[in-house]
Amino acid sequence: MAASGLVATGTAAAAPAKKYPVSWDFRSAIPSALQQTVDPNWAPPGANDPSCRLTKERPNPVVLLNATATTQWAYNAGAPYLANNGYCVYTFNYGNITPIPTFPIQGLADIERSGREISRQIDRILRRTGAKKVDLVGWSQGGGLLPHYYIDFLGGDKKVDKLIGIAPGNHGSTGDMLTYVRYFIPPFGPVGYEIFKALFPAFAQQAQYSDLVRKVYGNGDTKPGPHYTTIVTKYDEIATPFTNGFLEGDNVTNILLQEDCPVDLSEHLSINFSERTWRHVKNALTPAEATPVPCFQVDPFYPGMSEGR
């Protein structure tokens, strides 16, 4: 069952001195993707700030893991929003299948290899900050199969306090039924799928019933230690069926955005650039400060889409 994820309110931490602009529109991230391509030190506003200091109220670094076929630019809204609320936010790229380190389309490599990449990055962040654990917030692959593999098989259960998945690719996806195309017109469907799998391993590994999905979720959805939160939309057209995003376990909070807000029309793209989503993320990161998430219209793809603007 989906839950609201709302608990009692508490005293908020002091607001940071510096405020970053937040744009709840994925189109604002497009220039950032281009900027990242030419600047190897680029990070979204509010992320990777060497002056940020952990506090008693926010003792864990918040590590943002991007979706398949994206990089750090995916958090052009989430990173500044969290930084403005006093969190130390960290981003990095992973899963690059090109020789260009700043290529803006990554997260495509073998997920087990990417798991080892993020393991090294998380260890680096823990050493830099002196923290004992991190909180992971991830979109799609970054909130689903990848962090679950890290937690289950690379010792992440000892280093992760909370995992918050935004439209997470848990239990594999049918890709709006596209994964079944591989069974069409033998032998061309299967051959084409094997070529696609060799070129873009992460896509195939996230397909429902893949070997990696069976390996990661076959013995249960969670491990003792971390608390898991899923934030899911019933209009997801990529991580399908959307119910696969939910987890089972005593240490789980499942949130369906439409349960208390039918005018939230987020789909797989806009969910990561929605203010409602990130209010839920903040509540999950700091439950003692949680406040009700108001209901307001969220359009698919970008603001104004429903009105044809």
Helices (H), ranges, the chain: 29-38, 78-84, 111-129, 145-153, 188-199, 201-205, 211-217, 275-285
DSSP per residue, 166-232: ES--TT-B-TTTGGGGGGSTTTHHHHHHHHHHHH-HHHHHTBTT-HHHHHHHTT-S--SSSEEEEEE
Res 73: pLDDT = 95
Is the CB of residue 162 less than 8 Å from the CB of residue 223? no
Number of Cβ within a 10 Å radius of residue 55: 12
Choose among 300, 67, 292, 88: nearest CA to 202. Answer: 67
DSSP 258: T
Q: In this structure, which topology does domain 26-307 adopt according to CATH?
A: Rossmann fold (3.40.50)
Number of Cα atoms under 13 Å in the Cβ half of residue 274: 31
Q: Cis peptide before 201, with omega less than 30 degrees from 0?
A: no
Res 49: pLDDT = 96
In sequence order, what are the beta bridge partners of 173?
207
Number of Cβ within a 10 Å radius of residue 15: 10
Strands 252-256 and 227-232: parallel
For the ranges 22-31, 129-138, 272-281, 284-293, which has the lowest average pLDDT? 22-31
Amino acid at 223: K
57-105 pLDDT, tens digit per residue, is: 999 999 999 999 999 999 999 999 999 999 999 999 999 999 999 999 9
Number of Cβ within a 10 Å radius of residue 8: 9
For the ranges 27-36, 44-53, 181-190, 300-309, which has the lowest average pLDDT? 181-190
Question: 56: which residues sit within 8 A by CB, 6+ positions away?
Answer: none
Q: Give the pLDDT band (50/70/90) at residue 44.
A: very high
- Residue 197 tokens read as 């799998």
pLDDT surpasses 50 at 1: no
Q: Cis peptide before 187, with omega less than 30 degrees from 0?
A: yes
Res 302: pLDDT = 87
Cα–Cα distance measured from residue 156 to residue 133, given in angstroms and rounded to the nearest whole number: 9
Average pLDDT over residues 9-22: 63
pTM for the model:
0.91
In sequence order, what are the beta bridge partners of 65?
138
Average pLDDT over residues 290-301: 96
Cα–Cα distance measured from residue 121 to residue 55, given in angstroms and rounded to the nearest whole number: 21
Res 248: pLDDT = 97
Is the CB of residue 289 less than 8 Å from the CB of residue 9? yes
Domain residue extents for the chain? 26-307
Is the CB of residue 172 less than 8 Å from the CB of residue 182? no
Q: At what angle do helices 145-153 and 111-129 cross, to 10 degrees?
A: 70
